[in-house]
Structure 1
């Protein structure tokens, strides 16, 4: 098997397509007939190689013109499966997924699922009592329609501890809201940088949780928009982080930017 054939075989496997080489001629003819690309009367006995070539060509031109004829719940399952790929990353000011750009109808159907399935970053500047949303975060949430913002279920708070470090921003906390808006989960991250060995002190983790939890409790207790994100919630989470940086735990511990990085107490100086 040549290198291009191996690459094609791997590509088809990644796409979840059938390996026709493992099928008999009769099976290939049945596949072709089922898809309306059967052999013509003038050429009733194509070779296996020719049948495989025809089916490969049809696979490369796959279309499904009856999507909107499916029951709505089936369409939602398709959109959820499609958006699952994007949920693997914590998105920061994302553009609409390609499927949502096909037509207005698909955009209206796909985007609510996209916001409900994906995780979004709240990125802050360096730790201080005056920390702010970075421009991209502020622009994204301030321009997002309220209905789209209300569908978001996953939020991840990031912060850059040192603007001179080459590493990416550090994840501070993960927030998950239930689909019905009746409960939430909050997890503070134990490590400032997962690629390094420095550990965020337990006092700091507890403080961050202590400041963030009342914001989330208030989201679940309000009568209007209960359990759903509104723009003011983003700012309240920011203010909670600002409040954390004025607390004694952040006066007692500070991050020392060394070759390896470490949380060190003032008593070490």
Structure 2
């Protein structure tokens, strides 16, 4: 089996597009923290339930903010008895049990968290699956554009085999199209290079796992990406589906949402009739493009 090339960077025509491909799993970059003031950072942390003395350094706040992003435990909210148990369970050395300061325990436990390691593959497969689903849950509400593989799937072949089907089944993916005219009376669509590279670089078995798609046209207007339509396609494991289409702008052309929904539904009826829980084919994307073209006419 070939290694899915979506584990690597996808070519992009602009820096803004390049950042989309793996930004979905990254923490806020350090340069983001360089641009935020200490006052605003403190206010954001207080909104999350954290409190700092005015004398606390910005670096301490940055480290705490990263812990918040990682969903790590806030030790300051624990009782002294709970902290002592954590110290014992984590085998943290050189901690004074009679120390009265919760900050002392919290500091040492945070240090220990940064150094802890364990052998992930020693866990039972069922537990690894639950961890992967929990890990992917945060991405589920986002629409991902030509994403690279999540880091958990990049470590070895075994984890790719476990994680990638879950990733493609549970996340929502954007397919972008750009407008071109063959003549003055017809609308034609092309698939941008980064979207095409993402589709062609994916293993067919992985692409077949996709259940949630958003089709959009992307164009630059006043240095901002916009879309004139949006089609959402949901495909369940049992082959049932739901299609919805909306027209976002009218800019010299007409997008027939009802015709689009009808054409997409007929296509998804065929996809849903295929055997197995994973049914989508790469060629279906080009058939979706044909449905889009048949749903668009230029206004005269």
- Contact 1:126/1:159, CA 8 A, preserved across alignment: yes
| Aligned position for 2:291 | 240
Greater alpha carbon shift after TM alignment, 133-142 vs 61-70: 61-70
Greater alpha carbon shift after TM alignment, 3-12 vs 169-178: 3-12
More strand by share: 2
Residue among 181, 195, 200 paired with 1:137: 195
| Greater RCO (CA < 8 Å, at least 6 residues apart) | 2
Greater alpha carbon shift after TM alignment, 146-155 vs 63-72: 63-72
Distance (Å, rounded) in 2 between the aligned partners of 1:57 and 1:46? 17
| Aligned position for 1:207 | 259
By how many angstroms is 1:188 displaced?
0.5
Q: How many residues align?
A: 238
Q: Calculate the aligned-residue CA RMSD, in Å.
A: 3.1
Structure 1 residue 83 corresponds to structure 2 residue 136? yes
Residue among 187, 196, 199 paired with 2:244: 187
Change (3 A) 1:16 1:122: closer
Structure 1 residues 107-129: Cα deviation after superposition (integer angstroms, max 9, x where no partner): 22211111111222221121644
By how many angstroms is 1:20 displaced?
3.1
- Which stretches in structure 2 are left out of the alignment for 5+ residues? 1-52, 181-185
| Aligned position for 1:257 | none
By how many angstroms is 1:85 displaced?
2.9
By how many angstroms is 1:105 displaced?
2.3
Distance (Å, rounded) in 2 between the aligned partners of 1:18 and 1:91? 28
Change (3 A) 1:148 1:159: same
- Which stretches in structure 1 are left out of the alignment for 5+ residues? 193-197, 254-265
- Contact 1:177/1:227, CA 8 A, preserved across alignment: no
Structure 1 residue 56 corresponds to structure 2 residue 56? no
Distance (Å, rounded) in 2 between the aligned partners of 1:164 and 1:229? 33
Change (3 A) 1:244 1:23: closer
By how many angstroms is 1:91 displaced?
2.3
Distance (Å, rounded) in 2 between the aligned partners of 1:86 and 1:241? 28
Structure 1 residues 147-192: Cα deviation after superposition (integer angstroms, max 9, x where no partner): 10110011111114x6655332414200010023x20010112423
TM-score normalised per structure 2: 0.67
- 1:150-161 correspondence runs (5 A): 150-160=208-218
